[in-house]
Structures are given as structure tokens and as C-alpha cells.
Structure 1
Amino acid sequence: MSDIPVISFVAKSGTGKTTLLEKVIKELKKRGLRIAIIKHAHEFEIDKPGKDSWRHAKAGADIVALSSFEKFALIEKLQKEITLDEIVSRISGVDLILTEGYKKENKPKIEVFRSEVSKQLLSKPEELIAIASDVRLDVGVPCYDIDDAEGIAAEIQHYIDRTIDTL
């Protein structure tokens, strides 16, 4: 099990999770944090058809690694979806892991709520660190304006500091 704090950003599709996450990541980087992000996707293609790595995978390679001066990627064929905890266990060298999605996982969450998309929260209040919303919600956790990336980053920093103090 990793000692790196994990926080999941959750919401219904079309709520603005990715946009908010971009802003929050920038704020956390200003604070000097190294960040990993895990995006849950139903299906995706990372390789470009015709490229060498794509050809290697199509030929039957079970793992394809791409490495350059600035980036490294590992593409692994799976028999079944791996769990969030299994992914987290493979990550090191960061101060915080954020996820986009994973609303059913047992991780602390920040829920992005937009009143024109949702009528109620997806998460139980006890699962939440905070809410980012276009309307004021009073469920016993801090509620930030959906555009308040600085406030949300401060709340995340506070959460990290509390988590480190309990280790």
C-alpha cells in the first residue's frame, strides 16, 4: 500500500471535472507539489496506427514501453481491468495522486457539482473532502465555487498536511 495521498475528483459527465482539474493541478504545482493523475477511461488508444510501438503490440507484445528524454509510457495488455490500488502501487516519486473518475472507489473525493447537470450528489458526505459547485451546498464539508481552483488547492494541501501528520 502506498503512503502517497490519493484524492478522486468525481462528477457526472459534462460537469467540468477536467477543466477544474487542470486549474487545480496548476495551483498545486505553484505550491511545489509533484502530481500524478490517473484518468479512468472505458476505452482508449495511446498508440498511433502504423507507428513502431503499435506494430510491436499488434505483432503480439504483451508490454510495450516508449521512452524518450522527456517522457516514458508503458502499455500493457490486460486480461482484466486492474484496480485503482494496483495502479497507485506502481506510482512513486510524487507528493499526491489525483484521479478523475473512480467514483465507486474507497478514496477521499472532491465532487464537482453543476446544478444543470445533476440534481443530487453522487457521493456520501463522509466520502468527501470538499465540493466544487455552482450552487451553495451545505452537507457538512467545505463547498467551493466551481471556479475556485486556488481554494480547492488549499483544501487539498490542508488534507495532505493532515494525512502526513497521522502517518
Structure 2
Amino acid sequence: MFGKGSALELGKARLVMYHKACLFLRRGECAVCLPVLTFTAYSNTGKTTYLEKLIPCLKAKGLRIAVIKHDGHDFQADTEGKDSWRFAKAGAEVVAVASGEKTAIFQYYPMPLDDIISHIRDADVILTEGYKYGSYPKIAVFRADTGKGLSVPAEECLAIVGDYPEPAPCPVFPLDDACPLAEFLLKWILEQHKKDV
């Protein structure tokens, strides 16, 4: 966490208050006040592994994180034979399971990214994986040993993670340490917040 009274701590507190005010004022609309960042790369480049490293770095800075994963295949999130699965098999379009610890909502129909975003609460930033055609700022993951280039043009990237050859049109961060990118993203989020105020 930041030092007591530091500029980043104050900025973080203002950011949280701003998001809560946006959600209060825009209830029912897309949560456009939440910053959304898209991580993009070709399959097996390391997007998920990198996000697993980045999330704890962002959490250490006091941010609450939401993640949306795009799956190009028909995934199975529920467990066959469980009551929630049985309700869906019986024809329910939406099934929710709640306990004292967590809640899961299964919606058995496709949703556009903005609709998914509009349902997210209690987060300071939304990270998406795989939505490379969307309009949100992109962070490309790159590994030279895959033999593949970037999945989006470098000029469209807010940042690049990996061993991308210099010069790049945006900042490049190491693949093995996510904390420098976390610091960059926190500053970027605070800058975006200042523009919106």
C-alpha cells in the first residue's frame, strides 16, 4: 500500500469515490467510468500467465480487479450433475448460485462485452483477455520465441509486454515481472480519472 498521505494514496481514494459516484449516477447504464484494459496476444503467448502475475501487483496497490475472459470455444463453467447445471438443462436461461462466501451467475446466452461490463460492481479496473477487436486500450503480450508477431498493430497499444524489439511506439515491459506495468497502469488510470473530472 502507499505511504500514509502520499499523492498516489490520495489519488486512489479519489478514484474509488469517483467510481462509486459514477455507479450511483449511472445505475442501469454501461459502467463506462470503470477503466477497461484489454490484454491481447495469439494463443499460447502467455496472456493468462501474465495476468496471474499482474493481478497481485495491482491488488498490492489497493485496486479491486475484475477480469473478463473471451473464449472462442463453447466453454463449460458449471459442473455436470450439480443442481445449477440441472436447472440450466431444464431450460433456465439464468441460474445463480450463492453462498456465504461467493456468488456465481450463469447466463446461457451470448452477451456483448459492454453488457458484461455494465454488470460489474465493486471493481476499480476491468481487465479483459482476448477482446482484441474492441475499442478499449490494448496491452499486447509478445514472445519472440513463438514466431508470431503482435496480434494488433503496435500503434494501437497502450503498452507491450515481452521481448518486443525496440524501438516501440509505446512503453515495453518485461514478461517476467508484472509490477512495473502495474505501476504504469495505476498512473494511467489516475490520469484518465483526472481527465473525466
Report the counterpart of residue 71 of structure 1 in structure 2: 102
> Contact 1:135/1:145 (CA < 8 Å) preserved in 2?
no
Would the aligned equivalents of 1:40 and 1:101 in 2 still touch at CA under 8 Å? yes
TM-aligned CA deviation for residue 51 of structure 1: 0.8
TM-score by length of 1: 0.93
The corresponding residue for 2:25 is none
1:149 alignment counterpart: 178
1:118 positional shift: 4.0
Higher helix share: 2
Q: CA RMSD in A?
A: 1.3
Q: Does 1:116 align with 2:145?
A: yes
Normalization by structure 2: what TM-score? Answer: 0.80
> Identity over the aligned pairs, expressed in percent?
46
Q: CA deviation at 1:77?
A: 1.6
Which of 66, 72, 90 is the equivalent residue of 1:59? 90
Query: Structure 2: where are the runs of 5+ without partners?
Result: 1-29
Alignment match, 2:36: 6
Contact 1:6–1:99 (Cα < 8 Å) also in 2:
yes
Give the aligned partner of residue 49 of structure 1. Answer: 80
Structure 1, unpaired ranges of 5+: none
- The DSSP-based 3-state class of the residue aligned with 1:116 is helix
Q: Deviations over 1:118-163 (max 9, x none)?
A: 4422222342111011243322200111112011111111110111
Quick check: 1:26 aligned with 2:56?
Answer: yes
| Distance in structure 2 (CA, Å) of the matches to 1:51 and 1:119 | 41
CA offsets per residue over residues 66-97 of structure 1, 9 Å max, x none?
Answer: 1011111111121xx32111111111211000
Please report how far the alpha carbon of residue 10 of structure 1 lies from its aligned counterpart in structure 2 after TM superposition. 0.5
Looking at structure 2, the residues matched to 133 and 43 of structure 1 have their Cα atoms a distance apart, in angstroms, of 29
